[in-house]
Chain A
């Protein structure tokens, strides 16, 4: 597994745990009221699990498993710098979206960064959607 996928997937596991924790706290509040303000975390719960966990896991797996360029070492996974940018933008975006509870403008900036991240990711991976061993 390449280093970039390790970062994507470990970050996704952290978001999974954070998202499950918030979800469990809200579900418990549904059952036995202990802190009604916990419902304010609903958008953060959704953001962590949909973008932080599922989208990011898929991105890490795709970067790892999509066909590479060349059959033997040193094979290439394309422009890694581009995908590193995607990783940083996506995670900054998720964290900013999560901070919308305190900074309303952060939602707009976070979503913009996420759009940038996914566009860069699509551009970076596009030419790897091909048969194994085929040129770009």
Chain B
């Protein structure tokens, strides 16, 4: 298993645990009137679907798809690492800024969300570019 795949999969496991903990928190908060759990549901969904499922898929695809070439079996490694970094930085930024912007909208958290959107889009784009030519017969 390549190093980048190990990073993708370990990070996806962490996101899975965080998503499960957030689900528990969302169940507890309304019981004690600690706050609006609704603000956390978007973060929960994205930790689950993007951080866990999609990131796990990214790691497995990078590992198991047919080789790009003898010299570069997994395509452009740098593009893979950029995908990892942009996806997780984008996810982290939105996890911080989204609840804050929902409860107290302000320009700082607003522009952090715009940055997060850009980072996540680029992560998807880089992943597709790096994987596309590996989707073929051996």
Interface residues of A (CB under 8 A from B): 1-3, 6, 9-10, 13-14, 16-17, 20-21, 23-25, 27-28, 30-32, 49-50, 53-54, 57, 61
Contact = CB atoms under 8 A, between A and B. Distances in A.
Nearest to B112: A31
Nearest to A9: B135
5 contacts: A17-B124, A20-B121, A27-B113, A32-B114, A49-B49
Given A2-B137, A17-B128, A31-B111, A24 B66 contact: no
B109 to A, nearest CB: 7
A10 B135 contact: yes
User: Chain A's interface: helix, strand, loop or mixed, by majority?
Assistant: helix
B57 A57 contact: yes
Nearest to B46: A23
Contacts of A9: 135
Q: Which are the 3 A-B pairs with shortest beta-carbon distances?
A: A31-B113, A20-B124, A24-B121
Given A28-B114, A31-B117, A53-B54, 7 more contacts: A16-B124, A17-B128, A21-B121, A23-B120, A27-B94, A31-B111, A32-B113
B131 interface: yes
B117 A3 contact: no
A30 B101 contact: yes
Given A21-B121, A49-B49, A54-B53, A31 B109 contact: yes
Nearest to A22: B121
Interface residues of B, number: 35
B116 interface: yes
Of A16, A24, A31, A61, most B-chain CB atoms within 10 Å: A31
Contact of A25 (B97, B111, B117, B127): B117
Interface string B121-132: 101110110011
Given A24-B121, A32-B111, A1 B136 contact: yes
B125 A17 contact: yes
A20 B132 contact: no
A20 B120 contact: yes
Interface string B58-71: 00110001100000
